[in-house]
Amino acid sequence: MQNKKTILKHFVENTLQGLFWLLPIAAVVFIVFWLYGKIDATTYKIFELIGIKIDGQSFLWILLTLIILVVTLYILGAIVNTKVASLFETLFSKIPGYTTIRDIINIFNSSKKGETKVLVVIIKGFGNIGYNIGLMYSQKESVIKDHYTVTLSQSPIPNGGFMFEIHKKDIFVIQNATFDNNLQYLLSMGVKSLAEILKIESISTDKFISFEEWLESKKPIKRGLHVKTQK
């Protein structure tokens, strides 16, 4: 009886892991195809109204629809950080489950900027020896002063892991690495080194910029007025 419960529990846990791994991918694919369908139908009606026949030009039609889709996504990307996008976010956040799905999908977005940019970082080893490569999904300070959250993902399936609150002096940034690079590294289970993925030579730890220095470099430069005093 105990074995049956263990097998059932294992089956349910694996099924849920598979679901939450697939959900953001499926959501993105669904949204892209939904947008494509809407643009396709709308453009067809517009061309029909102005008297342009598009029958027999399927390849050109698909190409035109794809171009309009890409331009639409570009425009949406341009207004993401505007007040208009914030207003929509506020309205949709009232819908149960929206915030959770948004946050899961955002994990896969390596184009984020500012305090939501994904950084690939190095911290002291999990077992107090060596080093670990992890991710910072945001650069917002922890509940502990001068500490920031670093996530160490599992390999080869990076849908789990450990979260640590690390002092900013003990975090080092791999500046030219992205979320996608780290994902390749995890999926390879170390068969590919991160240096190989980034196509760079291995360097010593003191050559990496500390997170503290990285934060300083992102602060806006204060331009003061310099007044010369006359003697």
Q: For residue range 97-121, what is the model confidence (pLDDT) as tens digits?
A: 667 666 666 665 555 555 557 899 9
The answer to pTM > 0.75 is: no
pLDDT of 110 reads: 52
User: Which pairing describes strands 147-153 and 161-167: parallel, antiparallel, or unpaired?
Assistant: antiparallel
pLDDT of 107 reads: 60
CA-nearest of 148, 146, 144 to 134 is 148
pLDDT of 120 reads: 92
pLDDT of 171 reads: 94
Q: Which residues pair with 153 in a beta bridge?
A: 161
- Of the ranges 4-13, 30-39, 61-70, 164-173, which one carries the lowest mean pLDDT score? 4-13
pLDDT of 97 reads: 67
- pLDDT tens for 62-81 read 787 788 878 877 777 777 66
The helix-helix angle for 2-49 and 58-78 (nearest 10°) equals 110
pLDDT of 175 reads: 86
pLDDT at residue 231 greater than cutoff 60: no
Question: Average pLDDT in the 48-71 region?
Answer: 74
Do 176 and 148 touch, CB atoms closer than 8 A? Answer: no
pLDDT of 65 reads: 79
pLDDT grade, residue 170 (50/70/90)? very high
pLDDT of 166 reads: 93
Euclidean distance between CA atoms 210 and 181, whole angstroms: 20
Q: Which H/E stretch holds residue 184?
A: helix 179-187
Question: Average pLDDT in the 9-36 region?
Answer: 74
- HSE at residue 26, side-chain half, CA atoms within 13 A, is 7
